Amino acid sequence: MSDNKKQMMDIQKVKSFSVAVSDEHQRNWGDDLFSRKENDPKYNYDRSRTRLNFQVSKGGELGPIDKNKSITDKIEQAIKNRVTGRVNATSNRAVSIVFGGNREQMRKLAFGDQAISENGNNWDVDSCSGIDRWATDIYDFCCREFGEENVVSFIVHLDELNPHAHAVIVPITKDGRLSAKDLFGGNDMNQARLRMRELHSRLAEVNEKYGLERGDDITITGAKHKSTETYRRELADECRTLSNEVGMKKMLLSSLNRSITKAETKIKALQTMVSRIVRHLPEIDNKYFDERKDKPAGEKTTGLVVVTADKGLAGAYNHNVLKMAEEQMQKAGQTGKYKLFVVGELGRQYFGHRGIEVAEQFHYTAQNPTLHRARIITETILEQFQAEQLDEVYIIYTNMVNSVTTEPHMMRLLPIIKERFITKDGQDLSMYQEPLVMTPSPKAVLDNIVPDFVMGYVYGALVESFCSEQNARMMAMEAANKNASAMIHDLSIQYNRVRQAMITQEITEVIAGAKAQKKKKKARKEVLSN
């Protein structure tokens, strides 16, 4: 084992656990705060991986982080319910423990062989089962050492540079006292040091199977414990270094764009090739041309790939697509069955709230349409089409007609319609064509190029939808800005009118008062003169 693959257990006794710290552990932040944290060089958060964070609850149950109750409240509730003695202001109310280890090894546990981008674009990255097993074992270790009833929070963070676990312990003894000293060795310094050595040794027994080992004793290394602020500064320096590297790697984006252009050109070439094959061999039969004519209409299953957005504020963009999808679902349900394949979080939520089953959802595709994600969708529907779980496949998306007009559109993906490949001048499929040699066979050629051909249509639909979404969002925000400007204009006029009326009233009252004083003085003079 490499010498640098060491485990880490950082123990901090705290007299108070603020709500801000609790929110950080739970990532209980709004969009504005998260954006500030993400862009602050002191921190190292990757929002595209925050969705992978999870918690371990009582009984070792894994699940999403529960943000309904803060860690601070959990600590206070545990102290209120279980501590029998008096709690002093100087008492340590909690113990925060960070578990982790060598970054390379922890990332391998969390993400396997998946490439992790340092610029935050990791929406297609998933966590691996290794990190789940490690977290469960570390949670069991905490329960054995400190008592499960004392573990009020156990959260695993996969959205930072180094994956790790945060455990929060309330140091409540068996006799109901709040005492971190007793939990970690008592008042005797030698006993406390022995307790820490034993903890690290027993932790090493847990981490051994995950490729992490115990480090050398601090009495041998002479190492000094790093404060949280020091650790943050070091992370900030590392983040700046990584930012510089990202800046240098941005120069590679132009070559990537050229690669995408080449891929699109290849897809067009494949389309042309399919067209030539069908024109030369109109009688050719292939599994992708199978229209299931021998299957009764009532037994056919229609696959509907519905492309929606991940976010709202896009006008009627999502509504129009979902309306067309529901119409097609109704039609398919009258004559057979249907399966839904949804792209976009809004589509998933829409059908989920209505109790409509979604066969599969393709996460993070709506905001980042790529050939890779188009290939995943294509492979899914092709596999089910070949297994005759699907008899027809349509994709429903938003087509961008021009810069101001978009409309929902439905296109048939499978089975492939031969008539689609008739030339623009109306050339008949049976017309004689120049000789064409296909190796090893026309069937083998079609079997290899049709999947990429279908993927091209899927990718085109994803890109069209993405452009339409952004256009719809821009128009919606422009309309909102105009409405806001008009409202501000109307309110300004109303304010000025009210202000002018108040000024006029004030002037009138001053003049009336002056006239009254003048009359009063005149009347007094007349009385004195008489």
Q: Which domains does the chain have, with CATH numbers?
A: 7-225 (3.30.930.30), 254-480 (3.40.1380.10)
Question: Residue 426: which region, alpha, beta or left (left: phi > 0; alpha: psi -120 to 50)?
Answer: left
Which candidate, 73, 52, 67, places its Cα nearest to that of 152? 73
Q: Going by C-beta distance under 8 Å and a sequence separation of 6 or more, which residues neighbour residue 417?
A: none
Distance CA 1, CA 208 (A): 10
Q: Going by C-beta distance under 8 Å and a sequence separation of 6 or more, which residues neighbour residue 306?
A: 321, 322, 325, 340, 341, 342, 343, 344, 347, 396
Distance CA 249, CA 246 (A): 5
Q: Are strands 151-157 and 54-57 parallel, antiparallel or unpaired?
A: antiparallel
Helices and strands counted in the chain (H then E) = 15, 11
pLDDT value of position 507: 86
Distance CA 328, CA 322 (A): 10
User: What is the model's pTM?
Assistant: 0.46
Task: Judge residue 223's burial from the number of C-beta atoms within 10 Å of its C-beta, 0-12 exposed, 13-18 middle, 19 or more buried.
Answer: exposed
CA end-to-end span of the chain: 121
Looking up tokens 């069937």 gives 443
Q: Going by C-beta distance under 8 Å and a sequence separation of 6 or more, which residues neighbour residue 410?
A: 324, 328, 394, 395, 396
Task: Judge residue 414's burial from the number of C-beta atoms within 10 Å of its C-beta, 0-12 exposed, 13-18 middle, 19 or more buried.
Answer: buried
Question: What are the angstrom distances between the C-alpha of 315 and each of 96, 468, 479?
Answer: 46, 11, 10
| Residues present in the chain in total | 530
Question: Residue 211: which region, alpha, beta or left (left: phi > 0; alpha: psi -120 to 50)?
Answer: left
Using an 8 Å Cβ cutoff, are 362 and 114 in contact? no
Could you count the other beta carbons within 10 Å of the beta carbon of residue 187? 8
Distance CA 129, CA 186 (A): 38
Please give the helix or strand (H or E) that residue 198 lies within, else none. Answer: helix 189-207
pLDDT value of position 466: 83
Tens digit of each residue's pLDDT, the chain (530 residues): 345 678 888 888 888 888 888 888 999 888 888 777 777 666 678 888 899 999 999 988 999 999 889 999 999 899 888 888 777 777 788 899 999 988 889 999 999 988 888 777 788 889 999 999 999 999 999 999 899 999 999 999 998 888 999 999 999 888 888 888 887 776 777 777 888 888 888 999 999 889 888 765 554 444 454 444 444 445 445 445 444 544 443 443 344 345 445 556 666 776 677 777 777 776 677 788 888 888 887 888 999 999 999 887 777 888 899 999 999 998 887 777 899 999 998 898 889 888 899 999 888 778 788 888 888 999 999 999 998 899 999 999 998 877 678 899 999 988 887 666 655 444 544 555 556 667 777 777 777 878 888 888 888 888 888 888 877 777 776 666 666 666 666 667 777 777 787 788 888 878 888 888 888 888 888 887 76
Q: For residue 211, what is the DSSP state? A: T
